[in-house]
Structure formats: C-alpha cells, structure tokens
Amino acid sequence: MATATASTPKALPGKVPGPKGRFLLGSLIEVSGDWLGFYNRCAEEYGDVVRVHLAHVPVYLLAHPRDIETVLAANAANFTKSADYRALARVLGKGLLTSEGDFWKRQRSLIQPAFHRQNILAYATVMTRAAGRMLDSWPEKCERNIHQDLMRVTLEIVAQCLFGAEVADAAERVGKAMEVVTERFIANASLAMLFRFDIPVFLARGEWRAIRELNDIIGGIIRKRSSSDQPREDLLDMLLRARDADGNPMSGEQVRDEAMTLFLAGHETTAIALSWACYLIAQDPRIEAKLAEELQEVLGGRVPTPEDLPRLRYTEMVLKETMRLYPAVWGIGRRALRDCEFGGYRVPAGSNIFILQWRTQRDPRFFPDPERFDPERWREDPVRSGKIPRFAYFPFGGGPRVCVGASFAMMEATLLLAMIQQRFHLETVEGHPIELFAGASQETWLKQTSSGAR
Ligand code: HEM
C-alpha cells in the first residue's frame, strides 16, 4: 500500500488532477452552488487527490482514509487549521476549536478531563429532563419542524450543562444570537479562505451585534460566578477551577472563549445528527420496529439512564449509521506547514487541504451499497474489527484534535433518540421536502403521532 507522508517528497508523476475551472474564478461558482455535489463529482472524476481552484486559491481535496489519517493523526503536527477557521475565531477567540500549538495543548489538557465518560454521566439527567419537557409539549397528533425543536432542546442542554440554571432566562436570546453567527459561518469561512484580511465590520453588522450580545450574556454569567465561592456541578465551574501544571488558572477572557466554544460546538451538531436520524427512521418501518423492540425490552416505557446505554445497542447503531450518511460536520480543513505527498502527488507547504466525511463515508470501497441506510453495518463495528481503515469513518474527526465532546454527544443523542422513539411515531410531512444543505443547519419537517401501541 502506498503511504502518504508529510516528509520530503519522492519522485512524483506530475500535476495533481482536477477541474480546470473558469478564468479568474476557478471553480468558485460551482462550489458555492453545491459544495457536496461538486466535491463528490471531483472525487469520482479525478480520484483520491484533487486540486480545485477557488478563485486564486488552490485547495487540495483528499478522499482516501490513508491520506486523511496522515493529516489528522499520523502527521498532525505538520498541519494547522485552515484559514476558514479564522471566521470562527471572531466569535470564539482562542477557544479549543480555533487555537493552535502550545496554547491549544494547554487548553486541551485543562478541558479534556471534564469530558471523560465518567465525568459526563452526571449530565444525563439534565438531558432526559429537557427531552421530557420537549416531548410533553408535543400534542398527540401534530406537524412540527422537528429540527427547530431539537435545536432548542440541545441548546437548553448544553446551556444547563455549562452554566447550570443561570442561563435559563437568557437561553432564547443566546439561541437567536448563535443562529445569526452560525448562519454567517459558511459565507465567512469562504471569505476567510479567499482573502487574507477580515471583511470590514459594517458589512456584517448583524453578526457583530450578535457577538456583542453573546459576550454580554456569557461575560455577565462568568463575572457573577467568579465572584461567588459556592461550588457548582457544571462545566463553567470546571473551567474556573482548572489549573495547569504550574497551578495557574485560565484568564477571564480564556474562560469566556472556551465557554463560547463549547456552547457553539455543543448543540447544533447533535441536533443535526438527531434530525437526520428521525428522518431516516421515518423512511423505514422495519428499522423503526426494530428500534421499538429494543426500547421496549431495555426500558419498558421508563426514562433511560446512563446505565441503560450499553444495552441500547441498536439505538447507537442507528445513530452511527446516520452520522455515516449525514455527518453533522461534513468536512474538515487544514493547511500544510511543509511540503507533503499524497497518493504520489506533491502538495506544497502553505496549501489548503480539505477532507470530507461526506465523501469518504459514502465510498463503496469501504461501505458496500453506500447510499443505503443500514444500521446493521455497525453490529460488528467494521472499524474496530479492522475490516475498513480507521479513517473511512470519522464523524468526530480524529487524532489529537478529535472532538472533545464526542462521548457527551453520543450519550445525549442516544438518550434523546430513545425517548423520542419511545413516545412518538414520526412521518415526513407532504409539502415540506427535506433538503440537504451544506451549511451549519438544515430543516427537517416531520409529522408526529404519539404511538399508544408501544
Ligand atoms: C454529533 C455531534 C458532534 C459532532 C459530529 C462533532 C464533530 C466534531 C469534529 C469533526 C471536530 C474536529 C474538527 C477539526 O478537526 O477541525 C470537533 C471538534 C470539537 N468539538 Fe465536536 N462534534 C459534536 C459534538 C460536540 C459537543 C457536544 C461538544 C461540546 C459540548 C463539542 C465540542 C468540540 C470542541 C471543543 C472541538 C475542538 C477540539 C479541539 O480542537 O481540541 N462537539 N467536533
């Protein structure tokens, strides 16, 4: 097997293949019209390493797990986050998602312990209570935009896990401001990739207002908390109490950046995964019935607890398969710090690299009949058993920068999916087609009927 390394390039056959693109614009128009379709077509036509021009900026698309492993894990030190993360840094400052180098390393070591499986179990009750309130508010037979409901409940959950009760009054304002910020993210990320400078403030006034609003609310909570010595059982308390190897705490600004990061990274992704899971289950009565059988057997109608998680195997398989077909984070960008080689092609230092869960997780070389939603693929996990390469499936990324909230997200998604399916039968609503949108969110309209039969 040819291995890709980020060391000195060997003899290389020639130019990286890819679409020629238009004069000056390259493939910008095609990409912005349909990111996922365009990148898919590129991989089909040109293979595992493709060079695309977005105006004057070359971007290398990598589709093979071997190359993805090189970038994310084996040679992670040779890559930094791509320029598009600058758009996020405007909101998140130097939080975990947007920082680099030793600074990131220190922050990661301070925050990671709070997300160890053992430490997040306490949040299960916050999750099931919030889900219970959402489900109690659903009438027996109704049509709803379930994605909106799920966005609301995951926001409420992350807010409570972070700030305890203090954010309750502000949750709606925070939600709205977050929406403005995430809606602008794709546009801002593209601009950050194309230009080395930030767009002037007046062009994005609404966004700056939203950032100010978030700073006011979150800054206020942090200030209030810092001056209180009452211990709390939430993530903010953990951020305030964390000390590095020299016994130093995080600065106030750093706590703010990390709280904002966890807030932003911690709800929309989980809501997207759950929306798609509900949609896919609604398409397949056999899968719905199998899930119902497991839920009845394990829970018998009661609210799930963390102790039930190991026995909710099929629920977890449904979620894993959902995240294969519809990864909430559909691509990851990096920039090469040194010349590197992928699949026999030289990629120069400074290049933008883009890897796509969307593409690789639908690759027939690793997933037979890849478009089919089949949770059974995960009965005997093909990654764990070594049947497919480790980086053929990476919804949470991988290597040192793997999602710090992965266990939190899986626990939340499993508990919520179990509760929704326990109490409701869902169908898609005519006149509200589900459209794929490669942004930070998408709409999911589902009709739900409470199912007395279960
Ligand atoms: C289904 C839900 C989720 C998905 C699919 C997801 C996906 C990801 C991915 C792919 C990355 C890596 C990005 C990169 O390498 O550039 C990431 C990083 C991160 N995620 Fe998640 N995530 C989810 C939920 C969460 C939750 C619930 C939290 C926190 C409460 C969270 C916090 C973070 C943070 C802080 C990082 C940055 C880690 C670092 O760079 O050290 N995520 N996530």
Tens of pLDDT, residues 371-399:
999 999 999 999 888 999 999 999 999 99
Kindly give the distance from the C-alpha atom of residue 46 to the centroid of ligand 1, in angstroms, as a whole number.
30
What value does the mean pLDDT take over residues 343-358? 93
Go through 183-217 and write b for each residue having 16 or more CB atoms within 10 A of its CB, e for each that does not. bbbbebbbbbbeeeeeeeeeebeebbebbebbeeb
| 266 Cβ inside 6 Å of ligand 1 | yes
Which residues 6+ apart lie within 8 Å of 273 measured at CB?
A: 319, 322, 323, 326, 328, 409, 413
| 262 Cβ inside 6 Å of ligand 1 | yes
Encode pLDDT of 399-445 as tens digits: 999 999 999 999 999 999 999 999 999 999 988 888 887 765 456 67
Q: Exposed, middle or buried, 365 (CB in 10 Å: 0-12/13-18/19+)?
A: middle
Closest CA to 261 of 229, 302, 214: 214
Q: Poorest-confidence range of 34-38, 227-231, 289-293, 431-435?
A: 227-231
Chain-centroid distance, C-alpha 430: 29
Structure tokens at 204: 């994005």
Nearest CA to ligand 1 atom 43: 403
| 334 Cβ inside 6 Å of ligand 1 | no
Rounded CA gap, 216 and 253, in Å? 13
Bridge-based pairing of strands 352-355 and 345-347 is unpaired
pTM of the model: 0.91
- According to the model, what pLDDT value does residue 370 have? 97
Ligand 1 pocket mutation, candidates 403, 407, 408, 410, criterion most atoms within 8 A of CB: 403
Kindly give the distance from the C-alpha atom of residue 265 to the centroid of ligand 1, in angstroms, as a whole number.
6
* CB-CB neighbours of 56 under 10 Å: 10
Most confident region among 58-72, 78-92, 257-271 by mean pLDDT: 58-72
Q: Which amino acid is at 254?
A: Q
Kindly give the distance from the C-alpha atom of residue 406 to the centroid of ligand 1, in angstroms, as a whole number.
7
Q: Which amino acid is at 185?
A: F
- According to the model, what pLDDT value does residue 10 have? 47
From the CA of 273, give the closest atom in ligand 1: 1
Rounded CA gap, 179 and 173, in Å? 10
Q: Which amino acid is at 295?
A: L
| 396 Cβ inside 6 Å of ligand 1 | yes
454 pLDDT band, cuts 50/70/90, is very low
| 265 Cβ inside 6 Å of ligand 1 | yes
Which residues 6+ apart lie within 8 Å of 364 measured at CB?
A: 370
218 pLDDT band, cuts 50/70/90, is confident
